[in-house]
Structure 1
Amino acid sequence: MTRRTARRWLIAGTTAACVAAAALAATVENRPAVRQTDTTAAEELPLGAATLEETRTSRELAPGVTHIAIERGHRSAGDFWTVTIGLATNKAEAAELERKVRAAGYRPRRDRTAGPDPRGPLGRPLGWMVRVGRYADRAAADRAEDEITARGLPGHVQHTSEDGLATTGPWSLDVLVVDPARFRGRLRSELATGVVPGRETTSSVARRTGALAAVNAGYFVIGGEKHTPGNWVAGTDGDPAGVSVIGGELVSEAVNGRPALVVPAGNGRNTSVRRIETRITVAAADGASREVTGLNRRPGLIPNCGGVGNATPFSRPAHDYTCGNADEVIALTPAFGTSAPQGPGFQATLGADGRVTAVREGRGGPVPRLGTVLQGTGGGADWLRAHARVGAPLTVRGTVVDAGTRTPLELTPDTSVVNGGPLLLRDGKPALDPVRDGWSPQDIAGADRAGMYNDWYLRRNPRTAAGVTRDGRLLLLTVDGRRPGHSAGLSITETAEVMRGLGAVHAINLDGGGSTAMVVRDELQGHPSDPTGERPTGDTLVVLPQ
């Protein structure tokens, strides 16, 4: 981790405007040819009271690329460690949890959630966290949790500064500003290990690519141990859990209708945040065609849902949930690596010219270096059996579509697309729609989603976000979290407010939590939240020198 020792601005209460003006004047004096970015105007962040102290450290990494480190606030005397027994979404549930807590010999406490139920009606609270104890340090809370669980109650340790309610912080943030008008290098997304399977830390990707800076990017599958649909993310370890375009090549299908960061040019010019769909088909020589339901993933597992075809239990997005589909055709390209997933079904291998070179019952075997493997299950397997003949052509086409305008995106070798969500800002205004983007608190097949919504969306966590200013500059934000006393993290609502405060008019949340990482000149900024250190991720946004 790097220390922040460059030029600092101090912002406190009514002095903010004077200091901001002085900082702007100093920048103009020192670099007369450089346009001032929205973020370097030193306006204080919309976090906590306006009187909180804030320091900023700014450094130019290359023409058009600036890194800004921001520290704000201080530890709140009113926050403490506690043990949360569960989330109650109505008074009857709360009373029942409290009864169990008392029966175990403890005094329960109700703490309200930081936001309402997004399903409505308007103003309806999501609920209350039923808790036990107030502890000055984590060790005492851990001991209490052990005792509570030994008495048969569920429990996990939390810090109240992360609840999403009023606090003084502190917050530790890093911002990269890329100005396409001056930047002469390249901005692109990079798969971990260079292929879909496997993960790699942001630091490792930065070193491997020689990046000036790098930020973790989209959602992905962790572990790959689960191979059934359910309330988890299942599939191949490292598989992007949403759309991914690398160097103009579509390598993962969209969670349809969810937002994505679209970088059409190498220097970041015309970067946008859009809702994206993908349309992939396979056509036979006799005119028959079929929808390809997935790209470079295991058949039957749709991480974050939002799939097409006979997706079950639904086709809408559901974050950190894996939907299923028993009737699929999946396309595997060289981006998947050298080995296709094994299992029942039917498989056809295509050469570089699109002609079938081999067919087989059952799935598995090599993926050709310049070809494609089509794997079918259920009705998809039947279609391949009927139309995949050795020597005959099968044409696979994939299109990335703007879900708002229904127009295809032009993909060039410079194009990158990174999955994310929820949508934070559109046209300078908050655009939060957790139900639409897959964070509904509605339970799925008995799986608790209200607790997930509270912990993931309403409470504070480490965050990574991207946005675009009105004049086209790209903002990449990382925020440390889950480290009381160092940084409280942000709720999703706060993430949107911070991005707007930094000057973004369009913004998207990217993968966060333990994945959040920014690397600047080979140094990891901030402190990862995972106890094991920096987490290997599925893909990375890299800022490359000229």
Structure 2
Amino acid sequence: MTASTSGLSGFRRAGAIAAAALAAISLAVAPGARADAAEPADATTGILPLGDADLTEVTTGRTLAEGVTLTRIMRGTEPAPADQINTTTRGPWVVNVLTIDPREARGHLKATYGPDLARVEKTTDLVRASGALAGVNASFFTFTASQLYPGDPVGLGLFGGKLLSEPVTDPAEANFVVDANSNRALTGKLSWSGSVRNRTTGATLPLEFINHPPVVPAGCATLTDQTQCTLPGDVVRFTPEFAAATPSGVGVEIVLDRRGCVVRTATTRGTALAAGQTSLQATGQDTVALLAVAGQGCVEQTSTLTDQDGEELPLRRGLFGVTGRYQLTKDGRIVVPAGAPGDSFFARNPRTIAGTTRDGKIVLATIDGRQTTSVGTTMDETAAVAQALGLEDGINLDGGGSTAMAVDGALVNHPSGAERAVGDALVYVDGPYRSGN
């Protein structure tokens, strides 16, 4: 998905170029470390470009499975004063790095969520429930914005070839996409378009969202009959994966069977969907358009993902994708923008990183933060860490209180508070990918 590639759909870039020297340092264990013994490496040469040059840095590592390693890097030895966490140049910093080498690994990396898309689960629980060896938190999600559907992804949610949440138009969104069949992964930015077309009349209506509660126009909030509203609303497609029931409220909802034919039409929203069914919801003036296009008969629904070069990404089985905020590195260069003064997102925080090396290794890393024992990183520092870890292309996943890495269902990092329940996770399962697993 980077601008230099000829498209995401073929995953042509991964594994095509020899490994860089930094990748050899950081994507297994550092020189001098024994992967199976978890012994400290030579601390005279640092990997992390953080803080003062004279800081002691110790690296330990171990092999989790064939082709999968866990590396822990500790830079700085003295706890930070509590009032200097955001400013100190002495650290300390604690970074955990999970590395998957597709040429050697027997398992697969995928994205997963809990019982449904709208709920949240702890990363440790998602790792256990998936039968996974290890995993990290992944997408940004609604969190406190909607207590009814806190796990709703804010951006791309692609699971086993099913697009359950569309990428947003915000230029800050960055996506991580992996093919579980080959463990080839790329990072960048996807776009989406969707529509509904009546098979008989040919009338077409654009879709705005997938599995996101539609907004009722403020000027029509008191109208029980939304078809009387003259303000534009939303048109949304819902699938059974979203929740036990679709969002309720004023508006129109049309339930379709697996062939796209109308099962029932309602002038209020909210219903349970059976397996194979989908529904279309509309609010505001869009209720009239939805009824005209899909109120009877059968419809065709289109859903198209494209990469930033405009090439279509086929939704095949085994394809997974999650959403981050800001690309950190691109073609080995740091590309993260400068943050606005006072923007807390760009200040020091716990971070979760995902990306790929030039020789196709996949790297998932966490940086503990907001603690005297690990101060966290600014966005600039996060990008520098990604580059130092050999990430040719890397993105910033959800961080802060969400940052978590689990191995065998137990945390290996230290979250800034109690482990937070999250929307989804990237997990490594030590076995071949099979559709549905």
**What TM-score range do you get, normalising by the shorter chain?**
0.7 to 0.9
- Is 1:62 equivalent to 2:76 in the alignment? no
Distance 1:49 1:42 in 2: 13
Out of 130, 141, 154, the residue aligned to residue 241 of structure 1 is: 154
Partner of 1:105: none
1:539 maps to amino acid? D
Contact 1:192–1:238 under 8 Å retained in 2: no
1:74 aligned partner, one-letter code: T
Paired residue secondary structure (1:420): strand
> Which position in structure 2 is the counterpart of 1:162?
86
TM-score (norm 1): 0.66
Q: Tell me the equivalent position of 2:263.
A: 357
Q: CA–CA distance in 2 between the matches of 1:500 and 1:67? A: 18
C-alpha displacement of 1:522: 2.4
2:331 paired residue among 417, 427, 442:
427
1:45 corresponding residue in structure 2: 48
1:514 pairs with one of 388, 401, 405: 401
Aligned residue number for residue 395 of structure 1: 300
Q: How does 1:62-461 map to 2 (within 5 A)?
A: 62-75=65-78, 80-81=81-82, 159-163=83-87, 166-193=88-115, 195-223=116-144, 225=146, 236-256=149-169, 257=171, 258-269=173-184, 271-285=185-199, 286-300=201-215, 326-390=232-296, 392-402=297-307, 404-433=308-337, 441=340, 451=342, 453=343, 455-457=344-346, 459-461=347-349
Query: In the alignment, is the contact (CA less than 8 A) between 2:85 and 2:371 conserved in 1?
Result: no
Higher relative contact order (CA 8 A, sep 6+): 2
Deviations 1:52-104 (A, max 9, x none): 1111111111111100011111337xx645xxxxxxxxxxxxxxxxxxxxxxx
Contact 2:406 2:413 in 1 (8 A): no
Give, in angstroms, the shift of residue 334 of structure 1.
1.3
- 1:26 offset after TM fit, Å? 6.9
For structure 2, the residue ranges without an aligned partner over 5 or more in a row are: 1-24, 38-42, 218-230, 432-437
RMSD of aligned residue pairs (Cα, Å): 2.6
What code does the residue aligned with 2:86 have? E
Give me the whole-angstrom Cα distance separating, in 2, the residues matched to 1:225 and 1:522. 28
State whether residues 338 and 369 of structure 1, in contact with CA within 8 Å, keep that contact through their aligned partners in structure 2. Answer: no
Provide the C-alpha distance between the structure 1 equivalents of 2:385 and 2:146, rounded to a whole number of angstroms.
Answer: 36
Could you tell me whether the CA contact under 8 Å between 2:195 and 2:205 is conserved in 1? yes
Aligned amino acid, residue 426 of structure 1: K
Equivalent-residue separation in structure 2 for 1:74 and 1:515 (angstroms): 25
Distance in 1 between residues matched to 2:304 and 2:160, nearest whole Å: 15
Residue aligned with 1:503, SS: coil
1:472 to 360, 364, 367: 360
- After TM superposition, the score normalised by the length of structure 2 is 0.82
Shift of the 51–43 alpha-carbon distance from structure 1 to 2, 3 Å rule, reads closer
SS state of the match for residue 365, structure 1? coil
Q: CA deviation at 1:278?
A: 1.1
Shift, 1:534, TM fit: 0.4
State whether residues 223 and 236 of structure 1, in contact with CA within 8 Å, keep that contact through their aligned partners in structure 2. no
User: What secondary structure does 1:327 align onto?
Assistant: strand
Cα deviation, residue 411, structure 1: 2.1
Q: CA deviation at 1:51?
A: 1.7
CA distance in 1, matches of 2:44, 2:258: 53
Q: Which stretch of the first structure deviates more once superposed, 361-370 or 420-429?
A: 361-370
Question: Which residue identity does 1:483 align to in structure 2?
Answer: Q
- The corresponding residue for 1:528 is 415
Deviation, 1:387, is 2.3
Distance 2:283 2:32 in 1: 64
Distance 1:372 1:55 in 2: 53
Q: CA deviation at 1:42?
A: 7.2
Which protein shows a greater Rg? 1
Which of 416, 422, 428 is equivalent to 1:543? 428
Distance, in Å, in 2 between the alignment partners of 1:418 and 1:41 is 37
SS in 2 for 1:540: strand
CA contact (8 A) 1:363 1:375 kept: yes
Structure number with higher helix proportion: 1
Deviation at 1:543, TM superposition (A): 0.2
Return 5+ residue gaps in structure 1 as ranges: 1-17, 32-39, 82-158, 227-234, 302-309, 311-324, 442-449
CA offset digits 1:312-345 (Å, max 9, x no partner): xxxxxxxxxxxxx942110001111230111111
Counterpart position of 2:388: 501
Cα pair 2:193 2:305 within 8 Å, conserved: yes
Given that 1:300 and 1:326 are in contact with CA atoms closer than 8 Å, whether structure 2 keeps it comes out as no
